[in-house]
């Protein structure tokens, strides 16, 4: 028994010593990048920050991050960005079209070089409702599919009792196989019960693989997975993605389904933002 106790004490002591002898893992900051290109937009922006160690005060504002060289190119066309108070912007206009392939490269003397690529999603159109239509929660939002679409992301927020309530859902496209009209996407408007009544713009964005994966990681809390295999950037974290936007202005009318969704209380709601994202998952090499 004495020998057993001595052996246990010796084993525990060695374990403690081995833990103490393990050198502390050195933290290496990386560039944190956010850039989303929109089809039809001419002034893209790149927002920069860096990662912070757990015991270091973090600056989450993404403002005034000087010293970086930001370049964007498509084929033989190259654009150099300049630093503003909160982002890097291009001095000249860039015509961004569907199916364009863009490359991003960011260098900084204190950090690893960040590289990324995105392919602009294809265009699509909203079939129903039409501009100016009156809609209720009994109606549906219908749009043509953007080619190689992989899923849908819907997000909106409203103010209730002084707090902002966020609601979002991601639906992979493979859950919708076998629909009678596989060229169209139909989304019931029951979620309008959360929003205000009156004029409203319904917005749909077709997202590339990079931004769709980035949103998935954010929703799941997988921040550490924001690497080359998810948001497809190297040398840092964040996302370089693209989107094609389509929207329709409608009038939302009260109906008998108000209060159908749990937690809805129209009398307490103020301003809100509603958007629906039609995401694209391209098999980019």
185 and 260 inside one domain: yes
pLDDT given at position 113: 95
Q: Look-up: residue for tokens 């629906």?
A: 276
Q: Which of 75, 92, 119 is the last residue of a domain?
A: 119
165 and 262 inside one domain: yes
Domain containing 114: what range?
Answer: 31-119
Instruction: Please provide the DSSP assignment of 40-61 as one string.
Output: T-S--EEEEEE---TTS----S
Domain count along the chain = 2
18 within some domain: no
**Predicted TM-score (pTM) of this structure:** 0.74
Q: Which of 74, 94, 119 is the last residue of a domain?
A: 119
Contacts of 31 (CB under 8 A, 6+ apart): 48, 49, 50, 68, 106, 108, 111, 112, 114, 235, 236, 237, 238
pLDDT given at position 279: 40
pLDDT given at position 12: 35
186 within some domain: yes
pLDDT given at position 130: 92
Q: How far apart are CA 94 and CA 199, in angstroms?
A: 32
Q: How far apart are CA 94 and CA 97, in angstroms?
A: 10
182 and 250 inside one domain: yes
164 within some domain: yes
- CATH label of the domain that carries residue 57: 2.60.40
Q: Enumerate the β-bridge partners of residue 7.
A: none
Q: pLDDT truncated to tens, each residue of the chain (285 aa)?
A: 444 444 333 333 334 333 444 455 688 899 999 999 998 888 899 999 998 888 888 776 667 788 999 999 999 999 999 998 889 999 889 999 988 999 999 999 999 999 999 999 888 888 999 999 998 888 888 888 887 656 667 665 555 555 555 566 666 655 555 444 467 777 777 777 766 678 878 888 888 888 888 887 877 776 655 555 566 789 998 999 998 888 888 888 876 444 444 444 444 444 344 454 444 433 333
140 and 85 inside one domain: no
156 and 254 inside one domain: yes
pLDDT given at position 166: 59
């Amino acid at each position: 028994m004495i020998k057993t106790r001595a052996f246990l004490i010796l084993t525990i002591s060695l374990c403690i010593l081995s833990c103490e002898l393990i050198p502390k893992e050195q933290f290496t900051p990386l560039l944190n990048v956010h850039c989303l290109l929109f089809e039809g937009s001419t002034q893209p922006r790149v927002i920069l920050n860096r990662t912070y160690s757990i015991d270091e005060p973090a600056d989450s504002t993404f403002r005034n991050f000087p010293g970086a060289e930001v370049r964007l190119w498509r084929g033989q066309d190259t654009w150099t960005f300049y630093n503003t108070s909160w982002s890097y912007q291009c001095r000249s206009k860039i015509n961004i079209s569907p199916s364009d392939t863009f490359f991003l490269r960011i260098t900084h003397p204190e950090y690893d070089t960040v590289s990324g690529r995105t392919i602009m999603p294809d265009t699509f159109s909203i079939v129903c409702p039409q501009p100016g239509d009156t809609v209720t929660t009994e109606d549906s939002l219908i749009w043509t599919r953007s080619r190689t679409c992989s899923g849908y992301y819907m997000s909106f927020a409203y103010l209730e009792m002084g707090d902002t309530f966020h609601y979002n859902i991601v639906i992979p496209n493979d859950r919708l196989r076998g629909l009678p009209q596989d060229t169209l996407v139909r989304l019931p408007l029951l979620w309008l019960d959360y929003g205000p009544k009156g004029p409203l713009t319904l917005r749909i964005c077709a997202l590339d693989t990079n931004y769709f994966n980035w949103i998935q990681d954010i929703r799941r809390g997988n921040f550490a997975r924001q690497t080359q295999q998810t948001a497809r950037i190297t040398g840092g974290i964040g996302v370089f993605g693209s989107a094609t936007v389509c929207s329709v202005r409608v009038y939302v009318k009260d109906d008998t389904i108000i209060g159908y969704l749990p937690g809805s209380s129209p009398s307490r709601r103020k301003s809100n933002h509603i958007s629906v994202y039609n995401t694209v998952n391209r098999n980019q090499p």
